[in-house]
Amino acid sequence: MKLVLFGPPGAGKGTFSGQIKKILPDIPHISTGDIFRENLKKQTELGLKAKKYMDAGELVPDEVVIDMVRDRLSKDDVKQHGFLLDGFPRTIEQTKALDEITSIDALILLELDREIIKKRILGRFSCPECGEIYNKYTLPPKDAIGEDKWKCDKCGAGIEFAQRSDDTEEALEKRLDVYEKNAEPVIAHYKSKNLIRTVDSTDTLKMSEEEIKSAIGYKR
Ligand code: AMP
C-alpha cells in the first residue's frame, strides 16, 4: 500500500505507524523528520542544509525535501512493498510533487482536539534517575508526595514536574498554527480526490487489528 500519515504535532503519528506495521510489517516507514535528524547526526551536506530550519522550527525548503523524497521513493524496498510516508507532504508544492512521482492509496488523517494535544505535549516529563516517561495530566506516577512531586513508579526516585525546554506553550501554539495553515490546502487537495481516511487518534493503541485494517482501507 502507498499511504501518507498526516496530522498535527502530538497527534501520535509515531504510535499509529507502529500499529500499521502490525498489519503491513514490510512497509517502509519513511519519516522526513527522521531522515533529516539522521543526516544531521552524520553531518552530511543535506543535514547541514536542513539544520538552521529545523532549529528554528521552520520548514526546510520544498525543493530540498522533494528531491530527498523522490530519491527515497525510487528504492527497491518501496517498489516491492509500497510506503508509509510520515511528515511528507507538508505543503501544497510537496503535494503536487508527490502526485507527479506516484499516486497514493490514502491519506490517513489523525485527528485530535487541540486542548488534548496541548495536555499531551505540555504535561510530559521523565524521571531524572531512570528516564521513565510520565504525563502530569494523563499518566502521572502513582505515588504523589506533594504538589507536582511524585515518587517514580519504576525506580522510586523523587521527581518534580519540569517542562522540557522545547515544549513551552508558546512554541507549541506556533507549531500548531504552522501545521493548520499548511494543512488546509493539502487536505483540500486529497479530499477532492476522495483519498482521505480520518482516524480519531485519542487512543489508537486500543484499536484492534480489524479496526486498523478498516481505518487504512486494507482489504486482504
Ligand atoms: P518532524 O519530526 O516531522 O516534526 O520534522 C522535524 C523537522 O524537520 C521539521 O520541523 C522541519 O524543519 C523538517 N521537516 C520534516 N519534514 C519536512 C517536510 N515535509 N517539509 C519541510 N520540512 C520538513
Phi, psi of 87 (to 5 degrees): 95, 5
Atom of ligand 1 nearest to the CA of 94: 19
What CATH number corresponds to the domain at position 14? 3.40.50.300
**Is residue 150 domain-resident?**
no
Tens digit of each residue's pLDDT (9 = 90 or more) over 97-146: 999 999 999 999 999 999 999 988 899 888 999 999 899 988 899 999 99
What residue's CA is closest to ligand 1, atom 4? 33
37 classed as catalytic? no
With beta carbons less than 8 A apart as the criterion, state whether 59 and 53 touch: yes
- Spatial separation of the C-alpha atoms in residues 216 and 109, rounded to whole Å: 10
Say what percent of the chain tops pLDDT 90: 75
Residue 170 is predicted with a pLDDT of: 85
Residue 168 is predicted with a pLDDT of: 81
Tens digit of each residue's pLDDT (9 = 90 or more) over 44-70: 999 999 998 888 778 899 999 999 999
**Is residue 211 domain-resident?**
yes
**Is residue 38 domain-resident?**
yes
70 classed as catalytic? no
Candidate list 72, 151, 154, 175, residue with the active-site label: 175
Three-state SS at 95: helix
**Is residue 103 domain-resident?**
yes
Atom of ligand 1 nearest to the CA of 57: 10
**Is residue 168 domain-resident?**
no
118 classed as catalytic? no
Q: Which of 44-48, 71-75, 165-169, 187-191 has the lowest mean pLDDT?
A: 165-169
The average confidence (pLDDT) of the chain is: 93
Per the structure block, which three cell numbers stand in for 10? Answer: 502530538
**Is residue 154 domain-resident?**
no
Indicate the helix (H) or strand (E) that contains 3.
strand 2-6
* Enclosing domain of residue 34: 2-113+174-216
Span 146-161, average pLDDT: 96
3-state secondary structure 148-186: CEEECCCCCCEEECCCCCCCCHHHHHHHHHHHHHHHHHH
Q: What angle do CA 90, 84, 179 make, to 5 degrees?
A: 20
21 classed as catalytic? no
Candidate list 164, 174, 191, 193, residue with the active-site label: 164
**Is residue 77 domain-resident?**
yes
Q: Which residues line ligand 1 (CB under 6 A)?
A: 32-33, 36, 53-54, 57-60, 65, 87-88, 90, 94
What residue's CA is closest to ligand 1, atom 14? 33
Number of separate domains in the chain:
1
